[in-house]
Chain A
Amino acid sequence: MSETFAIGIGGAAGQGVATPGDIFAMIFSRRGLHLNAYNAYQSIIRGGHTFLTIRTGIEPVECMGDGIDLLIPLNQDTMDRHLRLLTTGGACIYNADTIKPGAAADGVQLCALPVSKMADITRNKVAQNTLALGAALSMMGVGFQSLESVIAGQFGRKGEAVVKENVDLARTGYEYATANFKPFARPLPMTEKRYAVLSGNAAMAMGGAAAGVKFYCAYPMSPSTGVLHWMAGHGRKAGIMVRQMEDEIGVINMAIGAAHAGVRSMCATSGGGFALMTEGLGLSAMAEIPVVAINCMRAGPSTGVPTKTEQGDLWQALGAAFGDFPRVIAAPLNIGDCFTLMAEIFNVTDRFQCPGIVLCDLLLSEGRLSVDPKLLDFIPEIDRGELITTNGDFHEEEYLRYKFTESGVSPRAIPGLLGYTHTVASDEHEENGVLISDEYTNAGKRRAMMDKRMRKVAGIEAMVPPPVLEGPQDAQVTLVGWGSTDGTIREARARLAEQGITANQLQIRWLVPLHGDAILKILRAAKHTILVENNYSGQFARYLRSETSFVADGHIRKYDGEPFMPHHIAEGVREQLSGSTTLSVPTHEVMV
C-alpha cells in the first residue's frame, strides 16, 4: 500500500467538525490526491462525540486505514479517546487554553496553540478550528494560497468580512506553526489529476439520474436521507420528480405507480423503512413492474443504532415479501460503485420486470471518496427491456400483458396507448391479466403463471456476471466479503503480505443472482477460506451455505456499529491461521 496521510478531527456535535473536514477534503482533491473520509457520529444534533477520519494519498484510498498521522481534538474528550492512535512521527494540534494533552507515544509531537492569545475567542467561537487548520497545513507543507482560496470558496456566501476573518485566523495559525512546530517528515504530495469527492448517497442518487430515473420518492431515514437530499436539490435541474411521502409503504407503492406509467423509478430507505416496503416489493414482482429500492443498512434490529453501520439486512432483503418470485439484490463495493451499479441494476430490473434491491450501508452512504470524474458516466448503456411505448395497430388479437414466453418476459405496454388496455394485478392472474379467482382458482393456471415468472431467473443469471477471485491464485488464505468491505479487505491483504502471509479475495457484488457454482469452484480450490462480515450471525455465510453447501474454515465478524479497520481483519487471519480459533470478533478499540 502506498503512502497515505490520515487526519482525525473530533469534538462534540455542533462544535464544527465538518467545516475543517470539508476544507481538508477540498485541498486534497485540488492537489490531485485521492481521499477517503468517514465520520463516526451519534444520533444527536448537539453534544456527544463525533470523529471524522480523512485519509489521503496518491493512489486510491479505499478505506479509513488503521491509524492517524494528525489529530485535531476540539475538546478534551477527543484528546482522551484518540491520542493513543498516534504513533512516532504523528502530531496533535490542540487548544492549550481548554485542553490538556494526555500521555502520547514516543515521537509524537504535541502542538499546543495558545488560542486566546492568537484570536478574539469571544467573537469567534470556532476560532480554534481555523487556527488548527492553518497550523496543520503549514506542517503538511501546503502553501498558504491554496488554503486561502478554499476558505474564500467555503465562506464566500457569508460575505467578504467573514472570509477575511477566517483567512486571517488561518494565517495566524499557519505562521505560528511554521515558527514553532516541526513539519511532517514528508510534505503532502501533489499530482496533475483532479477528482470528484462524493458520498455514497450522492453517488447512488447521481447514478440513478444517469440511469434515467425520472421519479424518486422517499421518507427520511438515516443513513439513506442523503439520497433524498441530493435528489431534492438537483431533481428540478435533472427533470426528476421528487416527492417526500407520508411513510415507506406510500413510498414503494408510489414508486411502483410511476414505474408502471413507464418511467424508471427509485426510492431509498434504511432497514425499518425497508421492512415497511416489503409488501410493495411483492406487488412489483407479481404485477411485473420494475422498481429499484435502496436499503442503506444501519445497525439493527428495530430503530437500532441510527448512525452506525452494519451488514445486517441481507436476510431481510432475501426474504422481503412473501411467496417466491424473481428479484435481484446487489451490494456496491465502494462509493464509485454506488454510482455505476445503478444503471446496471436498472437494466436488469427493466429487462426482467422485477424488483431490484441495492444493499448499501452507512459506511458507503455517508462516507466520502475521491472518484475520477470520468467514472461518473452520465450516458451509461440503458436497456429498458421489452417496453411498448407507441400506439398499436388495429389488431384482432387481445394484448396479453402476461403472455407466456420462453424467457418468462412478456412485452410490457405502458398505459395510455391505443390497443393495449389491460389490468395489471396483484392477485394471481391469467395471461390477459384477468384474476384467476374471477372464474375459479385453477391449479393449472396458477402453476403456469408461476413457471412463467420464475423462468426469468435463468435470464437474470445469464445477464449478471459471476464474481472473480482477486489476488494470487495459490494464496494461503482466501478472504470472502460482500459489498462495502471490499477496500478494507484489500488493505488487510496488503498488511498480511508485509507480514509474509499471502491472501486473495472473493468480493461479492451481486447477492442475487449469486452464481453459486462459480463461487463453489473458486472456494473449493482455496487453501483456507475466511468469511468477513459486518454482522453478528454471518448472514452471508449462512446464505452461501444454503445455496452451495459450502462451509468456510473461519469467520471474522464485527457488529459493534463501526466498520472494519484493516488490522481487525489482518489480526483475525493471523489468529485463525495459527489455529487458535475459527471465529474472530474484533471490537473497535477506540470509543467513537
Chain B
Amino acid sequence: MATLNIVAPGPIAMADFKGKVDPDWCPGCGDFGVLAAVQKALVELQIPNHRVATVSGIGCSSNFPGFINTYGMHTLHGRSLPVASGLKLANHELTVLVTGGDGDGFGIGCGHFVHAMRRNINLTYLVLDNQIYGLTTGQTSPTSRIGMKTKSNPYGNEDAPVNPLTLALSAGATFVARGFSGDQKHLTELIKQAIQHKGFSFLDIFSPCVTYNKDNTFQWFRPRVKKLEDNAEYDATNWVAAMEKATVWGDEIPIGKFYESTDIPSLEETEPVLDAGPLINHELHIPPDVAKKFVEELM
C-alpha cells in the first residue's frame, strides 16, 4: 500500500499522482471522475507532484487530498480557502489546488469564498458540487433545488439555492467555469485552463452523489449539459454575457468556461513583500539597519 515518495526522473505520469490509499467513495460517486481529471490535467501540464499542494475542507469530496499523491492538507469544514491562501502566499511557487463540496464552499465556507475571489490569489478552486451533503448522509445543501426532499427537509427544501457562478462573477473571480464529472475530456481541459490562469480560478463541477441525491443524477445531467465551447459566438471575456449565461438552468445547462479575465494581476504579482521571492526563502532575521530604525522610531 505504501507508495514511494520519490518519482524517478522522466516524464510525469498518472502513476506519480496515485494516492497512498484508494478512494473510499461509494462506487459510482461523481468524485472519482473529478479525481481522474485532476490527475490527468497535472500529467498533461507536466507539473511534478512535489510542486503541487491540494488543500481541502471536510466532506466526502474533501477527502480528495488523501487520494492524490501531492502535498496535501485536509483542513476544517469550510476553511480550505483561507488555509490555501496562507500556504500560497508563503510559498507562491507551488501550484495550489483547493477541493471541497458545495456545503463546504457555499455553506459554512461562503464568507471565505467571496473574499478569496476578491483577493485574486493564484489558486485553483474545484467545488465537487453534488447539491447534497454527502458525508453527513444526505441533508439539504446550499445548491439543493427548492422542493428537493432530503433528510433535513423531508417535506421539501424551502430555501432558494445559491448560484455559485453568478456569486463568483459578482465577487470578482477572474476565472469562472463549470464542468461535469461525466465528461472527462472536457473537464480535464477546464482544469488545465484553471491551473494555468494567473489569479483565482473557480470551477464548479457537477459531481453526482449516487447515494443521497436521487434528483441530480448522471442521467439527469447528461442530456442537459451543453458546452459553451460548442458555441462559436460565446465570448468568455465578456462579463455581462457570462452573468447572463450563468443564469441559464433547466432543459439546457451550460458548462464550460464562462469567464476569464487575464488583465487583472494576481495578489502575488502586486505584493511588494514577494519581490524578494517566496516568503519561505526570506532570511529569518530582519536586516540590522531596518531593526535599528524600528527601535530609533521609539526614542
Across the two chains, which residue of chain A brings its CB closest to B51?
A416
What residues on B are CB-neighbors of A378 within 8 Å?
285-286, 288, 291, 294-295
Binds B, one of A127-135, A389-397, A453-461, A537-545: A389-397
List CB contacts (< 8 Å) of A194-220 with chain B. Answer: 194-198, 202, 206, 209-210, 212, 214-215, 217
A257 close to B276 (CB less than 8 A): no
Interface assignment of B213: CB less than 8 Å from any CB of chain A: no
| Cα–Cα distance between A121 and B73 once the two chains are bound (Å) | 64
Closest to B48 in A: A418
B4 near A246 with CB under 8 A, answer no
Residue of A239, A241, A257 touching B73 (CB-CB under 8 A): A257
Task: Tell yes or no: A515 within 8 A of B by CB.
Answer: no
Q: Is B93 an interface residue (CB 8 A)?
A: yes
Contact between chains at B90 and A382 (CB < 8 Å)? no
Chain A residues contacting B115 (CB-CB under 8 Å) are 245-246, 250
Stretch at the interface among B76-84, B227-235, B251-259: B76-84
- CB of B82 within 8 A of CB of A423, answer no
Interface size class of B (residues with CB under 8 A): 35 or more
Given A217-B86, A241-B273, also A415-B91 (CB < 8 A): yes
CB contacts (< 8 Å) of B101 on chain A: these are none
Stretch at the interface among B64-72, B146-154, B159-167, B217-225: B64-72
Most buried by A among B111, B273, B294: B294
Q: How many residues of A contact B (CB 8 A)?
A: 79
Query: Does B132 make an interface contact (CB < 8 A)?
Result: no
Q: Is A582 an interface residue (CB 8 A)?
A: no
A590 CA to B273 CA, complexed, in Å: 47
A399 contacts the other chain (Cβ, under 8 Å)?
A: yes
A501 within 8 Å of B (CB atoms): no
Is A256's beta carbon under 8 Å from chain B? yes
Q: Knowing A241-B271, A418-B50, say if A379 contacts B66 (CB, 8 Å).
A: no
Query: What separation, in Å, do the CA atoms of A452 and B63 have in the docked complex?
Result: 24
Which of B71, B94, B114, B285 meets A422, CB within 8 Å? B71
Give Cα distance in the complex from A425 to B67, angstroms.
Answer: 13
A418 nearest CB across to chain B (Å): 5
0/1 string, B107-147, CB within 8 A of A gives 1: 00001101100000000000000000000000000000000
Contact call A420/B285, Cβ cutoff below 8 A: no
Cβ contacts A354-374/B at 8 Å (1 or 0 each):
000000000000000000010
Q: Say whether B291 contacts A423, CB under 8 Å.
A: no
Inter-subunit contact B299/A194 (CB<8 Å): yes
Q: A415, B69: Cβ atoms under 8 Å?
A: no
B86 adjacent to A259 (CB under 8 Å): yes
Question: Chain A nearest CB: distance from B58 CB in Å?
Answer: 7
Q: How many contacts A-B (CB < 8 Å)?
A: 230
* Distance of A349 Cα from B94 Cα, bound (Å): 25
User: Which of chain B's residues 268-299 have a Cβ closer than 8 Å to chain A?
Assistant: 271-274, 276, 279-280, 282-286, 288, 290-291, 293-295, 298-299
Does A502 have its Cβ within 8 Å of any Cβ on chain B? no
If A214-B90, A257-B90, A261-B86 touch, does A438 touch B74 (CB 8 Å cutoff)? no
Task: Report chain A residues within 8 Å CB of B85.
Answer: 254, 257
CB atoms of A435 and B66 under 8 A apart: yes
Residue B185, interface by CB 8 Å:
no
The CA of A419 and the CA of B51, in the complex, are separated in Å by: 11
Contact B5–A399 (Cβ < 8 Å) = yes
Q: Within 8 Å CB of B271, what residues of A?
A: 241
Contact between A234 and B294, CB atoms less than 8 A apart: yes
Instruction: Provide the bound-state CA to CA distance between A212 and B299, in Å.
Output: 23
List residues of chain A with CB within 8 A of the CB of B86: 215, 217, 253-261, 265
User: B280 to A261, Cβ gap below 8 A?
Assistant: yes
**Most chain A beta carbons < 10 A, residue from B90, B111, B114:** B90
Q: How far apart are B182's CB and chain A's nearest CB, in angstroms?
A: 25
A355 to chain B, nearest CB (A): 14
Question: Taking CB as reference atom, which chain A residue is nearest B114?
Answer: A246
- Most B Cβ at <10 Å: residue of A242, A280, A389, A416: A416
**Is B6 part of the binding interface, using a Cβ–Cβ cutoff of 8 Å?**
yes
What is the CA–CA distance of A376 and B290 in the complex, to the nearest angstrom?
13
Task: Judge whether B241 is part of the interface by a CB distance below 8 angstroms.
Answer: no
Residues of B within 8 A of A432 (CB): 2, 20
Q: Which B residues are in CB contact (< 8 Å) with A247?
A: 111
Contact B20 A382 (CB under 8 A): no
In the complex, the answer to whether B91 meets A279 with C-beta atoms within 8 Å is no
B-chain residues with CB within 8 Å of residue A239 when the two chains form the complex: 273, 276, 279, 282-283, 286
Asked if B72 and A241 make an inter-chain contact with CB atoms under 8 angstroms apart, the answer reads: no
* A236 interfacial by beta-carbon distance below 8 Å: yes
Q: Residue A81 at the B interface, CB < 8 A?
A: no
Instruction: Please list the residues of chain B having a beta carbon within 8 angstroms of any beta carbon in chain A.
Output: 2-6, 20-21, 24, 48-51, 53-55, 58, 63, 65-66, 69-76, 79, 82-91, 93-94, 111-112, 114-115, 271-274, 276, 279-280, 282-286, 288, 290-291, 293-295, 298-299
CB-defined A-B contacts under 8 Å, sample of 10: A196-B298, A256-B83, A258-B279, A373-B295, A373-B298, A417-B50, A418-B50, A421-B72, A422-B71, A425-B74
Extra 16 A-B pairs, beta carbons < 8 Å, given A238-B294, A239-B276, A245-B82: A197-B299, A235-B273, A236-B273, A239-B273, A239-B282, A240-B273, A241-B273, A242-B273, A262-B91, A264-B284, A287-B75, A378-B285, A394-B6, A398-B20, A421-B72, A423-B66
Q: Which 10 pairs from chain A and chain B are nearest by CB?
A: A257-B86, A423-B72, A261-B90, A415-B71, A378-B291, A258-B86, A196-B298, A212-B284, A254-B86, A257-B83
